[in-house]
Amino acid sequence: MNKQQLTALIKREARRLGFDACGISKAEKLDDEARLLEAWLNQNLHGKMDYMANHFDKRVDPRLLVENAKSVISFSHNYYTPTTQQEDTPKIAMYALGKDYHEVVKHKLNAVLNFIRAQAGDVNARCFVDSAPVLERAWAQRSGIGWQGKNTNLLTKRSGSYFFLGEIILDVELEYDSPVKDYCGTCTKCIDACPTDAIYEPYKVDGSKCISYFTIELKDEKIPDEMKGKFENWMFGCDICQQVCPINSQAVQHREPLFDASDELLNMKQKDWEELSEEKFKTLFKDSPIKRTKFKGLKRNIEFLKS
């Protein structure tokens, strides 16, 4: 089987498993991205996310993650839903309403990898879903899935930015795709809407000012007082820059039941959140990415919104 045939089969299998897009790029060092990442870290724009500075060489060169790597296959999986929580309650970013995407997407990537091995034999490969030193958006952009918008999220012309990314890095040469055009144009809606000024200029984000950083990544007992009144009721993550993006007006409902929010979560009222117990937290978020904050962190966020 030649690389064109194998590439076509992989993309067909990806669609069958529910991925919305699959693009492939050559496994090589990301020289331009390495310089940008180094500058971003040197300016301390990662705040207290110390892990962002770890494994720098691996982060910019997939051949250090998978020996003799030849290709990076990027996948996107829609998670958009028009379903919302109760009005005027502390808000959760859309991606975290359902089951933990790490597990759901990783399971599908493993299924693709098993399919590849059935076609191509003993393949050396690894699957990644936002849990290893991989510059996911850079690879997705290189593979033609979309472009990085002014909020640095990956955007697609037909369906916006509400999707997860995953990768398979493998030692098989495949047919490579090309990047697509940037369609942001003169639009600055995401920049104008950010209440903490985290998007400090087009295509540049100060991670230490992002609401998602404060509500998920920051492990301090207190959120800085200067942020009071700026969170617009977000207690876990933030979707503001996505909500105002005109391209996201084209987003369509996902087709993965595991990403649906439970009725119990959607029916939680303000008082329910304020009276949330640790036992309730553990059952409500048993298989959710929200468990990452732990009970103490989510309670801190809820209390901060009241202050």
Alpha-carbon gap, residue 91 to 34, rounded angstroms: 34
User: Does the pLDDT value for residue 131 go beyond 90?
Assistant: no
User: Does the pLDDT value for residue 79 go beyond 90?
Assistant: yes
Alpha-carbon gap, residue 235 to 238, rounded angstroms: 8
pLDDT in tens, 288-297: 999 999 999 9
pLDDT in tens, 167-187: 999 999 999 999 999 999 999
Mean pLDDT of the region 22-31 = 98
- In this prediction, residue 188 has a pLDDT band, given cuts at 50, 70 and 90, of very high
Residues carrying an active site annotation: 130
- Average pLDDT of the chain? 97
> Can you give the residue ranges of every domain in the chain?
3-86+93-170, 189-249+260-306
Alpha-carbon gap, residue 135 to 298, rounded angstroms: 28
- In this prediction, residue 50 has a pLDDT band, given cuts at 50, 70 and 90, of very high
pLDDT in tens, 190-215: 999 999 999 999 999 999 999 999 99
Q: What is the pLDDT of residue 247?
A: 96
